[in-house]
Structure 1
Amino acid sequence: MSGNWTEQHIPDQRGRVAIVTGANTGLGFETARMLAARGAAVVLAVRDVEKGRRAAARITGDVTVQALDLASLDSVRSAAADLRAAHPRIDLLINNAGVMYTPRQATADGFELQFGTNHLGHFALTGLLLDLLLPVPGSRVVTVSSTGHRIRAAIHFDDLQRERSYSRVGAYGQAKLANLMFTYELQRRLAPHGTTVAVAAHPGASNTELTRNVPTALRTPVTWLAPLFTQKAEMGALPTLRAATDPAVVGGQYYGPSGWGEIRGYPKPVASSPDSHDRATQQRLWTVSEELTGVTFPLGRAA
């Protein structure tokens, strides 16, 4: 496609059902808003239902709200059951929600918060809903990663929950690296089915609430510099939207901003770190994620 990919390039979404996690604000809200504007039936899957309802009231189109706390496997299972009851098919599952640079905290199930929310919660949700996507030609699972997957990032199998050593940046890097590894392994397992594809995206540096946990010493500089180095949420959502709707997308691709350092700009296919493509680590992470969540996907092992 020539030229810059914008909201105007989103194809007609009428008749399609899209689940967007973390859609009450920021990137998720803009993703949901633009999909609804193109005719999709959009579900805002959010932790705070009241905030979700207020967000839904600001979106024109077919929009509903679903309670979902990715930091609780009980909540993930309950949300999946509700979604299955309400929707016999799903066209788009957009794993957008996330937390960033939080102090050391644990989820309801004892997982480190960033890994548990950003990766394990989405892993479980995807596994519990995947059989509603598999029969749908053109269905997609889009998982939002970050350039942070390159920064102090590794999958620490010997200390996944970072109980022995905790770094806000390192824990975020591990979670975002896990998002990519999950996408690549999921795509290999989906390939034989020929209907659903897995794609990843990242928003570059977007001015959203995600940075609210930046350490206090950095908060003032970040606030002052943000307008110079970040883009608005509606631009940051475009890589996700392209990954979700562009007919030219191929499973296993990764989309991000086209500008210098992938910080700002219109979306295009981008490369992820060499570590993210380590198949042995991807497969091990998949196995461990199934064990930790108790969720097994309706798919065979990747060839």
Structure 2
Amino acid sequence: MSDWTAADLPSFTGRTVIVTGANSGLGLVTARELAGAGAKVIIAVRDTAKGARAAEAITGANASQVEVRKLDLQDLASVREFADGIDAVDVLVNNAGIMAVPYALTVDGFESQIGTNHLGHFALTNLLLPKITDRVVTVSSMMHLIGRINLNDLNWKARPYLAWPAYGQSKLANLLFTKELQRRLTEAGSPVIALTAHPGYSATNLQGQTGNRFGTRFWLAGNRLFATTPEFGARQTLYAVAEDLPGDSFIGPRFASRGATGPTPFRSPLARDGRTATALWELSEQLTDTGFAL
């Protein structure tokens, strides 16, 4: 590991990167830095007005064109429409997410956290895969350590809903998705690689949207006292986007939340389980009606 920062990004001139949820937080910083490195950045957001304001905030002498497109990960029809509108892309950054929110369902009837954080990105990746030339980077979390995949009740319909365990399940799903995606890419002889990154504990708007006023106060206080900046959190994603890495690498701070950026050992035994990764993939295919397209 080294003290790598966004200043170490190579030129992305002539390359196209899609960043989901790039209207704020880690996604906004990721999009800004990649645009500054010369990339054409497509900001994929549910609220295009917020996306337009984000695009206006991305400035710099080397900034290239930033395009805003509508994408609602809680609606598979929107995911399909977005994917149909993309001709080619070098890098897909699955960044968008929600955290520890009250129980709700997506348009397609999925529990909102697994639906947004995993199933929406699962469908998006598979639909775009024939058009991706370089890599898929999915943003997970250290909270995957509390996650358990319940293949019989992925959407919390048969058990009492618990917001944090549901979040942990969705973040564990990100790692298992990447593991199985890389296995399939390797088997297909594809040069595309799949990677995962986690930001540590960075202050973003996620902590203010738990839907629980006491929980929100707790996390906002934590942001002030302990959290790193969105720039530090996004550094982990940018490293995964830019560096020469083996497939299925997991990138994060050396000391879980702080320290130099690079491959991290903080991956739970459950996140290394190939059987669960394959089973989750097959279930996700059934739920989203999408599959590996190479």
User: Which residue pairs with 2:218 in the alignment?
Assistant: 221
2:72 aligned with 1:69? yes
How far apart are 1:203 and its partner, in Å? 0.5
How far apart are 1:268 and its partner, in Å? 1.3
What secondary structure is seen at the aligned counterpart in 1 of 2:251? strand
* 8 Å contact kept, 1:30–1:233: yes
What secondary structure is seen at the aligned counterpart in 1 of 2:195? strand
Percent identity for Structure 1 against Structure 2: 48
User: Which residue pairs with 1:234 in the alignment?
Assistant: 231
Among 246, 253, 267, the alignment partner of 1:257 is 253
User: Which residue pairs with 1:126 in the alignment?
Assistant: 125
User: Which residue pairs with 2:38 in the alignment?
Assistant: 39
1:109-142 CA distances to partner (integer Å, 9 max, x unpaired)? 0000000000000000000000011xx3xx0100
User: Which residue pairs with 1:179 in the alignment?
Assistant: 174
How far apart, CA to CA, are the structure 1 residues paired with 2:291 and 2:194?
17
Among 245, 248, 269, the alignment partner of 2:242 is 245
How far apart, CA to CA, are the structure 2 residues paired with 1:102 and 1:225?
18
How far apart are 1:58 and its partner, in Å? 1.1
User: Which residue pairs with 1:169 in the alignment?
Assistant: 164
Distance 1:218 1:102, change over 3 A: closer
* 8 Å contact kept, 2:26–2:233: yes
How far apart, CA to CA, are the structure 2 residues paired with 1:119 and 1:13?
27
* 8 Å contact kept, 1:238–1:266: no
2:275 aligned with 1:276? no
How far apart are 1:176 and its partner, in Å? 0.4
* 8 Å contact kept, 1:230–1:264: no
Output the amino acid matched with 1:285: L
What secondary structure is seen at the aligned counterpart in 2 of 1:292? helix
User: Which residue pairs with 2:7 in the alignment?
Assistant: 8
What secondary structure is seen at the aligned counterpart in 2 of 1:94? strand
* 8 Å contact kept, 2:208–2:220: no
How far apart, CA to CA, are the structure 1 residues paired with 2:287 and 2:221?
41
Two-structure CA RMSD over aligned residues (Å)? 1.2
User: Which residue pairs with 2:154 in the alignment?
Assistant: 160
How far apart, CA to CA, are the structure 2 residues paired with 1:157 and 1:224?
35
Among 185, 189, 195, the alignment partner of 1:199 is 195
How far apart, CA to CA, are the structure 2 residues paired with 1:280 and 1:92?
27
* 8 Å contact kept, 1:6–1:266: no
User: Which residue pairs with 1:80 in the alignment?
Assistant: 83
Give the alignment's TM-score, normalised by structure 1: 0.92
User: Which residue pairs with 1:286 in the alignment?
Assistant: 281
How far apart, CA to CA, are the structure 1 residues paired with 2:219 and 2:97?
19
How far apart are 1:8 and its partner, in Å? 1.4
Among 207, 211, 216, the alignment partner of 2:207 is 211
How far apart, CA to CA, are the structure 1 residues paired with 2:209 and 2:51?
21
Output the amino acid matched with 2:261: P
Deviates more, 1:176-185 or 1:157-166: 157-166
What secondary structure is seen at the aligned counterpart in 1 of 2:232? helix
User: Which residue pairs with 1:59 in the alignment?
Assistant: 58
How far apart are 1:226 and its partner, in Å? 1.7
1:70-105 CA distances to partner (integer Å, 9 max, x unpaired)? 00001100111112xxx3x21100000000001000
How far apart, CA to CA, are the structure 2 residues paired with 1:27 and 1:220?
21
What secondary structure is seen at the aligned counterpart in 2 of 1:157? coil
What secondary structure is seen at the aligned counterpart in 1 of 2:155? coil
Deviates more, 1:5-14 or 1:19-28: 5-14
* 8 Å contact kept, 1:258–1:265: yes
What secondary structure is seen at the aligned counterpart in 2 of 1:268? strand
What secondary structure is seen at the aligned counterpart in 1 of 2:156? coil
> How many residues were matched structurally?
286
* 8 Å contact kept, 2:18–2:92: yes
